[in-house]
Amino acid sequence: MAEFRIVEREGVRFVAVSLVKDTVRVEAGALAFYRGDITMDARIPRLGTFVTASLSEERAVRPTLTGTGEVVLESSVGGFHIVEMRGEEWIIERGGYWASDDEVKVGVYRERVMNAFWAGDGFIEFHTRVRGHGKLVLTARGPAHEVTLAKGERYAAEARGVVIARTSEVQYRVRRPARSILASWLSGDRMLRVFTGPGRILVAPTPYWGAFILEKMGARAEAANAERPAAPAPEAVRAGTA
């Protein structure tokens, strides 16, 4: 399978992928450059997939790159996290998918209507759903780590982007922070995103400084990957000096 690694340089981070007769799938627009005997392919999605993407902010087309060489994806003031998938299914927060092995199956997942409504996303909200074996790369607002939730154990966060992905068995609800409306109003928190085990979640509670500034300017957490400084030279990536 392809080899993924996260490289940090000059305060930004990017993902480099080494291919040896391998195939990797990437988010649309994520490619910075590639070097070697590599071909890119992008298939026209089915009508249902296109309609689903138009109702959400997820991409309908995610191209693949096949061959032998080096692929470098766009840099970010936010960060990335690599997941080793072993047959499980993950539901990824909006804008969180970045790249994966071709063996990882990528689809869509529709949230419950009331969750989408109370989260401020209208009545329809779709996320990316992945399953299978291989490497998965996610975007993150800061350093990410995995939390294992026991049955009935809860993890609650107010801001979008703190939890970047969850396994499919984790229950997700959007609820008031307190039982009464008055207590919720006095708490200063509008709504909480509550994840209940059993299962695993990936969390990034502390943003990198660049992502933190974007959030304070009103951008969503995933917008941290919209800031794209110049990509490093191929020689720097291959030498590991990036």
Cβ–Cβ < 8 Å for 132, 176: no
Pair of tokens at residue 37: 């005997």
Residue identified by tokens 């392919």 is 41
Give the pTM: 0.79
CB atoms within 10 A of CB 216: 9
Cβ–Cβ < 8 Å for 23, 66: yes
Q: What angle do CA 32, 37, 39 make, to 5 degrees?
A: 65
Q: Which domains does the chain have, with CATH numbers?
A: 3-239 (3.60.160.10)
Q: List the chain pLDDT tens, one digit each, 242 residues.
A: 899 999 999 889 999 999 999 999 999 999 999 999 999 998 766 655 555 555 555 556 799 999 999 999 999 999 999 999 999 999 999 889 999 999 999 988 776 655 544 444 554 678 899 999 999 999 999 999 999 999 999 999 987 889 999 999 999 988 766 665 555 555 556 678 899 999 999 999 999 988 888 777 866 544 445 444 445 555 555 555 44
